[in-house]
Structure 1
Amino acid sequence: MEKYEDNFESFLENFKNTVSKLGYKNSIQKDYILKILYFNDDHLSAEQIVAIAKTNYKVDMGIATVYRTVKFFEELNIVNSLDVGDGVKRYELNLSLHHDHMICTLCNKIIEFHDDVIEEQQKKVAKNSNFILKDHIMTIYGLCKDCQ
């Protein structure tokens, strides 16, 4: 997905309207965190978000503000979190179609993937177990090509 500034402005306006309709207040920190996540293809930690805000936008925000904000975004289902196994949560916007992750256990590189066969197999397993599948998270751990 190409990310253009005007697309972000539309996304931000929709976010502000949704937050307002739900009775919550918006803040400039929320706007910047959304902008950082929107324009970054990496899965960012809270510390990385703080650093990017300071470096790229000259905005100081506390780490606690970032944690509260990404938790709020998760509750609204606009941000997904991912723990690669090192105890550090990383965040990405929930804008793209469903995807899963492969995580390198040496360098913590995160590789996104989608596989229709796997998706169908999960539905089949759930159906065969008389289970209603609502959502799933698949994370595969191993070694990336650079660490093999």
Structure 2
Amino acid sequence: MGFDGVISTMIIFIAVVGITVLAVTSFKAIADQSVSAMEERSNVLNNRIKSDITILSVAFNSTHENITVTFQNTGKIKLDPETIDLFLNGYFVSRNSRVCFVEPSTDTLNPGILDPSEVAIIEMPAANLSSGTHRIKVTTQYGSSHEDSFSVE
């Protein structure tokens, strides 16, 4: 094998090593993305398991034509009152058309955040609500929810 053969073999060897390094780097990036996606999914499921709420009362005020929903964070994770969703008779109530806040007497740890065991209140207008029984559902940002009914006479 002459000098030309050695050079050719070296060039091919370097090319194979370069391609191998490129392939390993690509597979590592894919593996890292998969691990990140699995960690994110695990966090979402963990938060869903740890979150829970219980509706304490639902009151309809016919004078002011509004509904007041009082609920408690009975889970083990903090909740953001701004991301709590409300459904009236199965219809989503826009966050712009209602007010949700942590009841001041229970808001002791993190002001404005619904910590475990704290109570929150949602107030929303309910003009022209027909008489009869209605369903209200409160849902957290993690998907856990509680449903209750109330009557309008």
Flag the structure with larger Rg.
2
Higher strand share: 2
Q: Shorter-normalised TM-score: what interval? A: under 0.3
**TM-score, normalization by structure 1:** 0.26
RCO higher in 1 or 2 (8 Å CA, sep ≥ 6)? Answer: 2
Higher helix share: 1
